[in-house]
Structures are given as C-alpha cells and as structure tokens.
Amino acid sequence: MDPVKPKRKLPIIHRYSESLTFKVSTTVIIIMLVALVVFSFVLETSDRQKLANDITTNGDTFATFTAQPIYNDYSQFYSHLDSGDFKDFKSLVQGMMTEDTNITKIQLVSISGRILFDSDEFTTGQYTGSAYRTITNLTTLNEISSNSPLSSRSLKGSNGQTEIVVPVTEIGGSYHVFSVRYILSYNSLNALMNDVYMRIAIVTVILLVFVITVSVFYASRLVLPIKHLTEVANRLRGADLEAKADVTSKDEIGQLGLTLNEMATRMKSYIADIEVSKQKLEDQYHILKQEHIRLEASIESLNVGFIMTNANNEVSMINRTAKDILSHEQTPEGSSTKIDIDKQTWTADYIQTRLTKSFDIKASIEKVLSTTRSVLKDELNYNGRILRLFMAPVTEIEDEHTINKLGAVILLEDITEAKILERSKDEFFSIASHELRTPLTSIRGNSSMMLDYYKEVFKDQQLQEMMQDIHTSAIRLIDIVNDFLDVSRLEQGKVSFSYAAVSVEKVIESTAYEMKATINEKKIYLKVDKLTLDTLPQVWADENRLKQVVYNLVGNAAKFTEKGGITISARLEPDKDKIKVLVTDTGRGISQDSQQLLFHKFQQTGSSLLTRDTTRGTGLGLYISKMIVESMGGVISLDHSDTDKGSTFSFTLPVATPERQATAKKDDTQTNTTTGMTTAKT
C-alpha cells in the first residue's frame, strides 16, 4: 500500500472543482456550448450561402432591370451621354441602391472602359474621372461584352465582393455599347449575420446563466442527499450509531439510504451483542483470575514441592517448597548448606542440574506423557538428602481418540528426616532387642545353671524359690521383648512370611506335644480331635507363624482353664476354600465386656497367674495372632464364650490350591547382616 500522501491545502477553486455539483454543472454547460457552436456553424455555412445566393440573384435582377431601359431606349442614352445627364437612369439607380443595401456601386461603363456613371456621385457628389476603380480588368470586361446583351455575368472578387456585369447593345445590334456594373458587398447579409450572431450571443449568455444556475441548483439538490448519506456514514464510522439516513426518494440514492440505515441497525445490534459478550468475558476473566489466585495460593501453601511443566517441557509453575527442597548443597567438608532460591531462575534445565544424575527429568516426563501413567520414585538421593518424587501426566481428553498432553506435574517431598527416623526406629528395635536379649539370656541361663548344678547351695527352699523367680522373670522379660519386636515388625509390615503348603494336622500335633508337659502340670487335658484333622487339605501359610498362633490360643486356653481341658479341632469350610481351626476350652469364659477388648493391643482378660507356662503375659498374644492370621489371608475370632462354661476361639486360613501355589511370589527379603534384621522389601 502506498503511504498516505500528505493533504495539500488546496485553493478553494480547486476544492470546488472536485465537487459533484461542479462536475455536473460543467458537463451540462459544455454540452450546451458545444450544441450552440455546432448550431452556429451549421447556420453560418448553409444559410449564409443561401442568403448570399439570394443577394446575388437579387443583384442580378436589379442589374438587368437597370440595363433594360438603356437597352430599350438606346438612342436616348446615347444622345444624353455626353451631357452626362440621364435623370431617369440616375433616379432608378438611386432607388435601387436605397432598396438594396447590398449594392455598393453601380457603374455605367462604356465599351472603351470609360466610366460614364458611378453611384459614388450620390455620396461624394462627384465621381472620379477615368480612373478605373473596378475589380475586373478591361480584358474580362470585353469578354463579357461579347456575350449577348442583357445576359448578366457575376464575378467573384478577392475582397468578398461580387460584381455583376450586364452588357448592353443597341436593340438589334450586336455591338456592345455599355456595361452596367453592379458591385455587391453583401452588406445586408453581413448585417443580418451580425444580427444573428448578436442574438445567438445574447441567447447564449442568458442560457449560460440560466443553465449554470439551474445545473448548480439541481446538482446540489442531487448532491445533497449524497452529502447527507456521507455525513450519516461518517457518523456511523465514528461509532455514532444513532445517525439515521433521512431519504425518501425511491431512486438509487434512496436505496443507498435505506441500506445504510439497515446497516446501522445491524451494527447496533452486533455492538450490543459484543458489549454483552465483553461483559461476560470480563466477568469470566475475573472469576478465572480469582480461581487462579486461589490455586496459586493453595499450591504455594503446600508443604509438598509442586512443579508443573507445559507441553514444551518448560516449567510453568514451581512453588516455594519445591525450590526449598532443591536448594540443598553439600560442601566438600560434608556439611550441608543451602543456595539462595530467590536468586535463581527455575527452568527445567536448572532443576535438572540441581538433581544431577540422580534423576533424568526430561526422560521421565517423556515416559510419563507417552504412557500416560504416573511414576513414583520412592528414594532419590541428592546432595545428602533423600527425596520422594511423584510425576503424573496432565492430559485433556477431548474425545475417544484425542488426548491433549498439556504437560506434567511433579510432587517432591524431602523425606530425609522421615527416612532417618525410620532407620533409627529399625536400628533401635534391632539394637534394643539384641542388647536386651543378651543380658536377659545371661540371667536366664545363669540362674538355670545355678539351680541345676549347685543344688547343694540352693537346698534352702527360699533360696531356691528366689532363684526360680529370677529365672522365670528373665524368661518373661525375654518373651516381652520378643513380643514387642514382633508387634513392631508386623505393624510395619517388615515381616516376611514364607508360604508353603502346610499340614494343619502336623502343626497342631507338634504344638500339642510341646505343650503337654505344662498342660499336665495344671491337671487339665489337651485333646486333639484326630477325626476332623485326618482328611484335611493343606493350608497355604507360613508354618512357623501358624504354629505361633496355635501356641497362643492353646496357651490362652490353658491360662483360663482350671478344670476340664482343651480340645483342638479343624475342618474344611463349606466354600471349600478355607480351613478353620478351633480351640475349645472348658475354662471360666470371658465376660461380655471383656469380649470387646479381645484382639486389641495390651488387653488382658482376668488376672494372669504365671507359673512356668508358655503363655505370653503381655496382652499382645491375640493381637499378634490377629495380625499373623490376617496377613496370611484368614480371619480370627472368638466363636462363643459362656461364663464358667468355656470359650471357643477359631481362625481360618486359605487352602493351598494349585493357583495359590503357582502364584507364590517369593517374598523379597533383604537381611541386614549387621543387625540381623530381616526386612520385607515393599
């Protein structure tokens, strides 16, 4: 596009020359003038010619008429010639000249060329002598004279005059005597023409004025509505939508006006719509902005590091906590410092440099976006800290086939302290258990040996009893330590169960065998219901732990039974997928209130009177049993209990089906060989 030329200040005429009015008027005027010129031209040529001819003819006639009396009365003229007085002729000529102003001169010329009469005599009173003031020369005159008398000849002159020559002879004579010469100047014609021209000029001027006035008037009238429409359009352009074209004519201008009005109306409604939309947009924007502020504030307030990347792997949001987490540095000496998080630009690349080789952000983002699955990195070592990193894709599902990948979101947690705590808890338990057990074993062992090998020294009953108590206490303490360790490890899920197809019958029998001694001391029976055990399928369980549970239940039963005994039985459940083991005692039962407390930590029912038995008096027995049974996929419960009648406890375990045996996942265990702790890898 050409650059806009600067507007020159045009002289007023120039400006008006651009207006429509001027153009229209000028056109009309020019047309008129052209018409007039053409008219004049036509008039001049044709009419002039005709008029000239008329004059010539007239002249001709007069000249002949004048010559006629000469011809008729030749002798008279001839005789009067010398005297120069031929009155009739002269008055005739005068009359002629008065009548026809085109005749400028009439001459009577002799054959020798002598001017006998010249009409100048009337004006000047004399005529010049013999000077030949004619337009034709003598030769031509003689030529004409040779023609028959009274036959006129017209000759054109150089100065627009016409000469008519009529030769006269004696009647019947062939000898030319006189010539009547008429010199025509077309005066009347000229006068007429001038008159006409004058009239034309006047008419032209009048017409001109008239036409100018009318055309200017009409043009501006024509232009007026256009001007009006222009003004209306200008106002519309200037967003003044109330402008209305006021045109009533049915012509094209009227159409234009209507269209303009319609346009204005439509524009108005569009603009109104736009205003409404604009308002809505503003409101939405405001709402959105507030939402955004809330969101940002929430994210900033999290005590979890939050990083969000967009589709181009650029960081679109990072909260303070994330920067804080990534701010750790280790000095060469090994102490930790922090960088100034506010002085950095946290781009994806910068974050990568902070994490160094421990984690490839971009690769992980790629993976997360391509698989649309989240990723959890449980332990990420970086600069002496331990982080937990969670990454998930941010996607927008448009339809079945279109998923827009908007970026990824990363959550960071500094779990260094938590991990340290965990490890110190582990260490505490292992150290505690190890450190406690050794002296306890020493107490137990030494007191036992004292009783066994120094019987003479301990002959004294009291002494013996004291030593017994020391020994028993040691055992009890060992049991408590074992229980505590067991509970903590079971609760933390750090216990590995080695599953196998186990014979319930075998376990129950061996437990019964081991407990027989202590049972007998209490004078109660321990029966194993062999009938129910015979045809049982094997269970899928950890054998040692199964034994532990049976041990616990039987031990509890023994604790609360003074008379009668304990019966152990087992059966296959109706769904054929579980085996139920039941331990029934005829003891004092458990009250309703106490039943609520069963299987909870540290709850004991009744007083526990421990002799050298094998029950654990820590109140953790049933709690541990419950955790074990449930870990192995079973359910433990008190089936029923009646005061002074006895109680029945039971637990179920899954049958060792081929499917279960096939899907046996070897528990990932790792043994810390320093502490001897066996931990299950989660």
Partner 1 sequence: MAKILVVEDDPLMSRMYQKIFTFEKHEVDVASDGEECLTKVLTFNPTIILLDVMMPKMNGLQVLEQLKGNPATKAIPVIMLTNLAGQQDAETALSKGAVKYIIKSEHEPKEIANMVQEVVAGYTRNAIPGTA
- How large is the C-alpha radius of gyration of the chain? 73
* 588 binds partner 1, rule: CB under 8 A: no
Stretch that binds partner 1, among 300-308, 321-329, 478-486, 653-661 (CB under 8 A): 478-486
Among 354, 444, 559, 578, binds partner 1 (CB under 8 A): 444
Q: For the chain, give me the number of helices (H) and strands (E)?
A: 20, 21
Cα 248 off chain centre by: 46
Residue with smaller CB distance to partner 1, 384 or 439: 439
* 675 binds partner 1, rule: CB under 8 A: yes
* 434 binds partner 1, rule: CB under 8 A: yes
* 485 binds partner 1, rule: CB under 8 A: yes
Among 161, 327, 448, 594, binds partner 1 (CB under 8 A): 448
Q: Are 433 and 481 in contact (CB under 8 A)?
A: yes
Among 354, 385, 545, 547, binds partner 1 (CB under 8 A): 547
Q: Give the position of tokens 């528990």.
A: 667
Stretch that binds partner 1, among 241-249, 284-292, 441-449, 653-661 (CB under 8 A): 441-449
Among 224, 233, 478, 597, binds partner 1 (CB under 8 A): 478
Three-state DSSP at 246 gives coil
Other Cβ atoms closer than 10 A to 123: 11
How far apart are CB 620 and partner 1 at their closest, in Å? Answer: 15
* 430 binds partner 1, rule: CB under 8 A: yes
What is d(CA 284, CA 471) in angstroms, rounded to the nearest whole number? 80
Hey, which residues between 47 and 76 contact partner 1 (CB under 8 A)?
Answer: none
Stretch that binds partner 1, among 184-192, 433-441, 458-466, 533-541 (CB under 8 A): 433-441
What is d(CA 274, CA 263) in angstroms, rounded to the nearest whole number? 16
Residues near 163 by beta carbon (within 8 Å), at least 6 away in sequence: 134, 135, 136, 154, 155, 157, 181, 182, 183, 184
* 284 binds partner 1, rule: CB under 8 A: no
Among 57, 510, 596, 643, binds partner 1 (CB under 8 A): 510
* 95 binds partner 1, rule: CB under 8 A: no
Three-state DSSP at 572 gives strand
How far apart are CB 433 and partner 1 at their closest, in Å? Answer: 6
Residue with smaller CB distance to partner 1, 118 or 543: 543
What is d(CA 630, CA 624) in angstroms, rounded to the nearest whole number? 10
* 493 binds partner 1, rule: CB under 8 A: no
Three-state DSSP at 564 gives coil
How far apart are CB 650 and partner 1 at their closest, in Å? Answer: 23
Question: Smallest Cα–Cα separation from 545: which of 502, 583, 574?
Answer: 502
How far apart are CB 544 and partner 1 at their closest, in Å? Answer: 6
Q: Are 625 and 636 in contact (CB under 8 A)?
A: yes
* 514 binds partner 1, rule: CB under 8 A: yes
How far apart are CB 442 and partner 1 at their closest, in Å? Answer: 4
Stretch that binds partner 1, among 239-247, 288-296, 431-439, 517-525 (CB under 8 A): 431-439
Cα dihedral 343, 347, 348, 354, rounded to 10, equals -10
Hey, which residues between 641 and 670 contact partner 1 (CB under 8 A)?
Answer: 669
Q: Are 358 and 412 in contact (CB under 8 A)?
A: no
* 482 binds partner 1, rule: CB under 8 A: yes
Question: Smallest Cα–Cα separation from 181: which of 70, 290, 309?
Answer: 70
What is d(CA 148, CA 168) in angstroms, rounded to the nearest whole number? 8
* 446 binds partner 1, rule: CB under 8 A: yes
Considering only the C-alpha atoms of the chain, give the largest distance between any 2 of them, rounded to a whole number of Å. Answer: 229
Residue with smaller CB distance to partner 1, 299 or 502: 502
Among 318, 411, 440, 620, binds partner 1 (CB under 8 A): 440
Among 137, 234, 356, 544, binds partner 1 (CB under 8 A): 544
* 433 binds partner 1, rule: CB under 8 A: yes
**HSE-up of 182 (CA within 13 Å, CB side)?**
29
Stretch that binds partner 1, among 330-338, 389-397, 477-485, 521-529 (CB under 8 A): 477-485
Q: Are 545 and 497 in contact (CB under 8 A)?
A: yes
CA distances from 15 to 20, 23, 230, 261, 444 (A): 11, 12, 17, 29, 128
* 160 binds partner 1, rule: CB under 8 A: no
At 14, list the tokens: 């120039």
How far apart are CB 444 and partner 1 at their closest, in Å? Answer: 7
Among 160, 173, 445, 493, binds partner 1 (CB under 8 A): 445
What is d(CA 68, CA 62) in angstroms, rounded to the nearest whole number? 10
Residue with smaller CB distance to partner 1, 181 or 547: 547
Q: Are 128 and 215 in contact (CB under 8 A)?
A: no
Which strands make up the sheet holding 315-318, listed edge to edge?
A: 315-318, 305-310, 403-414, 385-397, 375-382
DSSP state of 655: B
Question: Smallest Cα–Cα separation from 99: which of 127, 85, 119?
Answer: 119
* 464 binds partner 1, rule: CB under 8 A: no
Residue with smaller CB distance to partner 1, 80 or 494: 494
How far apart are CB 556 and partner 1 at their closest, in Å? Answer: 18
Q: Are 507 and 466 in contact (CB under 8 A)?
A: no
Residue with smaller CB distance to partner 1, 247 or 508: 508
How long, in residues, is the chain? 682
Three-state DSSP at 596 gives helix
How far apart are CB 674 and partner 1 at their closest, in Å? Answer: 8
Stretch that binds partner 1, among 9-17, 201-209, 322-330, 429-437 (CB under 8 A): 429-437
Residue with smaller CB distance to partner 1, 505 or 514: 514
What is d(CA 554, CA 525) in angstroms, rounded to the nearest whole number? 11
Number of residues that bind partner 1 (CB under 8 A): 32
* 452 binds partner 1, rule: CB under 8 A: yes
How far apart are CB 426 and partner 1 at their closest, in Å? Answer: 11
Three-state DSSP at 141 gives helix
Residue with smaller CB distance to partner 1, 348 or 677: 677
Could you write out the DSSP letters of every residue in 51-77?
A: HHHHHHHHHHHHHHHHHHHHHHTHHHH
* 518 binds partner 1, rule: CB under 8 A: no
Stretch that binds partner 1, among 215-223, 285-293, 353-361, 440-448 (CB under 8 A): 440-448
Residue with smaller CB distance to partner 1, 92 or 581: 581
Binding site for partner 1 (CB under 8 A): 430, 433-434, 437-442, 444-446, 448-449, 452-453, 478, 482, 485, 510, 514, 543-544, 547, 669, 671, 673-678
